Chain A
Amino acid sequence: MATNKIHAIYTDDDLLLHAVKQTRAENYHISEVYTPFPVHGLDAAVGLAPTRMAITSFLYGLVGLAVAIWMMNYMMIMDWPQNIGGKPSFTFSQNMPTFIPIMFEMTVFFAGHLMVITFYMRSRLWPFKKAENPDLRTTDDRFLMEVDVENHDIEMLTKFLYDTGASEISLIQTEQNH
Chain B
Amino acid sequence: MYTLPSKLRLFSIILVVLGLIGIVYGFLTVPKNTDEVRQILSEQEAHHGVASHNADDTANFVDRARGEKGYSEAAMEHATDLRPEGHGVSSHEEHVLHQMQTRPWSATLVAAFFFMMIALGALVFYAIQFASQSGWSPVLYRVMEGITAYLLPGSIIVVLILVFAGTHFFPWQNDELVAGDKILQGKAGYLNFPFFVIRAVIYLLGWNLYRHFSRKYSLEQAVATDYTPYRKNFKISVFFLIFFILTEATMAMDWFMSMTPHWYSTMFPWYVFASLFVSGITAIALVTIHLKACGFIPFVSDKHLHDLAKYIFAFSIFWTYLWFSQFMLIWYANIPEEVTYFVIRIQEYRLLFFGMLVLNFVFPILMLMNSDFKRIPWLVVITGIIVLIGHYIDVYLLVMPSTVGHHYHFGIPEIGAVFFFLGLFILVVGASLGKTSLKPENDPFIRESENYHF
* Contact status B369-A97, CB under 8 Å: no
| Contact, CB under 8 Å: A98 / B369 | no
Contact B328 A100 (CB under 8 A): yes
- Assess whether B369 is in contact with A58, with CB atoms less than 8 Å apart: yes
In Å, the complex CA distance between A86 and B334 comes to: 10
- Distance of A97 Cα from B331 Cα, bound (Å): 8
Q: B164 in the interface, Cβ–Cβ < 8 Å?
A: no
B324:A100 contact, CB within 8 angstroms: yes
> Nearest-CB distance from B313 to chain A (Å)?
14
| Max chain B Cβ within 10 angstroms of own Cβ: one of A54, A97, A100 | A97
B227 within 8 A of A: no
A86 vs B335: C-alpha distance in the bound complex, in angstroms? 12
Q: Chain B residues near A100 (CB, 8 Å)?
A: 324, 328
CA of A58 to CA of B371 in the docked complex: distance in angstroms?
13
Mask, A69-100, CB within 8 Å of B = 1, is: 00000000000000000100000000001101
How distant is B379 from chain A, measured CB to nearest CB, in Å?
17
Judging by beta carbons under 8 Å apart, are B334 and A97 in contact? Answer: no
Measured CB to CB, the closest approach of chain B to A136, in angstroms, equals 32
Interface size class of B (residues with CB under 8 A): under 10
Asked if B327 is at the interface (CB within 8 A of a chain A CB), the reply is yes
Instruction: Please encode chain B, from 38 to 54, with 1 for each CB lying within 8 Å of some chain A CB and 0 for all others.
Output: 00000000000000000
Residues in B286-339 with C-beta less than 8 Å from chain A: 324, 327-328, 331-332, 334
Count class of interface residues, chain A: under 10
Complex contacts, A86 vs chain B, CB 8 Å: 334
Smallest CB-CB separation from A101: which chain B residue? B328
Contact flags B355-383 to A (C-beta < 8 A → 1, else 0): 00000000000000101000000000000
Bound complex: CA A85 to CA B116 (Å): 43
User: A54 CA to B324 CA in the complex, in Å?
Assistant: 26
Chain A residue nearest to B65 in the complex (CB): A88
- Contacting pair A98 B332 (CB below 8 A): yes
Q: How far is the CB of A46 from chain B (nearest CB, A)?
A: 18
CA distance A142 to B332 in the complex (A): 59
A42-60 contacts to B (CB < 8 Å): 54, 58
Min C-beta distance of B326 to chain A, whole Å = 11
CA distance A100 to B369 in the complex (A): 20
Q: State the CA gap A54–B334 with chains docked (Å).
A: 40
Q: How far is the CB of B167 from chain A (nearest CB, A)?
A: 35
A100-B371 Cα distance, complex, nearest whole Å: 26
Chain B proximity of A45: nearest CB distance (Å): 14
A136 to B445 Cα, complex, angstroms: 40
Select from chain A the residue with minimum beta-carbon distance to B453. Answer: A41
In Å, the complex CA distance between A134 and B332 comes to 60
Q: Which of A54, A58, A97 contacts B328 (CB 8 A)?
A: A97
A:121-172 near B, CB below 8 Å: none
B327's nearest neighbour on chain A, judged by CB, is: A97
Q: How far is the CA of A58 from the CA of B332 in the complex (A)?
A: 30
Alpha-carbon gap, A86 to B332, bound state (A): 10
B247 to chain A, nearest CB (A): 32
A100 CA to B327 CA, complexed, in Å: 12
A54 surroundings in chain B (CB, below 8 A): 371
Q: B152-189 CB contact bits vs A (8 Å, 1 = yes)?
A: 00000000000000000000000000000000000000
Query: Which residues in A have their C-beta under 8 angstroms from that of B371?
Result: 54
Interface 1/0s, chain B 334-361, versus A by CB < 8 A?
Answer: 1000000000000000000000000000
List chain A residues, Cβ under 8 A from B369.
58
Give the chain B neighbours of A98 by CB distance below 8 A.
Answer: 328, 332
Nearest-neighbour CB distance to chain B for A43, whole angstroms, equals 13
Q: How far is the CA of A100 from the CA of B320 in the complex (A)?
A: 12
In the assembled complex, how far is the CB of residue A134 from the closest CB belonging to chain B, in whole angstroms?
30
Query: Would you give the 0/1 interface string for A11-35, flagging 1 where the beta carbon is closer than 8 Å to chain B?
Result: 0000000000000000000000000
Contact residues of A between 94 and 118, Cβ < 8 Å to B: 97-98, 100
- Please report the C-alpha to C-alpha distance between residue A168 and residue B171 in the assembled complex, in whole angstroms: 83
- B77 CB → nearest A CB, Å: 24
Contacts of A97 in B (CB 8 A): 324, 327-328, 331-332
- Tell me the smallest distance from the CB of A64 to a CB of chain B, in Å: 15
| CB-defined contacts of B331 to chain A, threshold 8 Å | 97
CA distance A167 to B369 in the complex (A): 44
Give complex CA distance A58, B328 in Å: 26
Q: How far is the CA of A133 from the CA of B173 in the complex (A)?
A: 77
Report the separation of the CA atoms of residues A100 and B328 in the bound assembly, to the nearest whole angstrom. Answer: 9
Inside 8 A of B334's CB, which chain A residues have their CB? Answer: 86
Give the shortest distance, in Å, between A65 (CB) and chain B (any CB): 12
Bound together, the chains give a CA A86 to CA B369 distance in angstroms of 38
Closest to A88 in B: B65
Q: Which residues of A contact B324 (CB under 8 A)?
A: 97, 100
CA distance A54 to B332 in the complex (A): 35
Q: Which residue of B lies closest to A87 (CB)?
A: B332
For the complex, give the distance between the alpha carbons of A109 and B328 in Å: 22
Could you give, for residues 102-119 of chain B, a 1 whenever the CB lies within 8 Å of some chain A CB and a 0 otherwise? 000000000000000000
Look across to chain A and name the residue whose beta carbon is closest to the beta carbon of B324: A100
Distance in angstroms from A93 CB to nearest chain B CB is: 10
Can you list 10 contacts pairing A with B, beta carbon distance less than 8 Å?
A54-B371, A86-B334, A97-B324, A97-B328, A97-B331, A97-B332, A98-B328, A98-B332, A100-B324, A100-B328
By a beta-carbon cutoff of 8 Å, the part of chain A in contact with chain B is 54, 58, 86, 97-98, 100
Q: A97-B332, A98-B328, A100-B324 are in contact. List 9 more A-B contacts (CB 8 A).
A: A54-B371, A58-B369, A86-B334, A97-B324, A97-B327, A97-B328, A97-B331, A98-B332, A100-B328
Closest 8 CB pairs of A and B: A97-B328, A97-B331, A100-B324, A97-B332, A98-B332, A100-B328, A97-B327, A58-B369
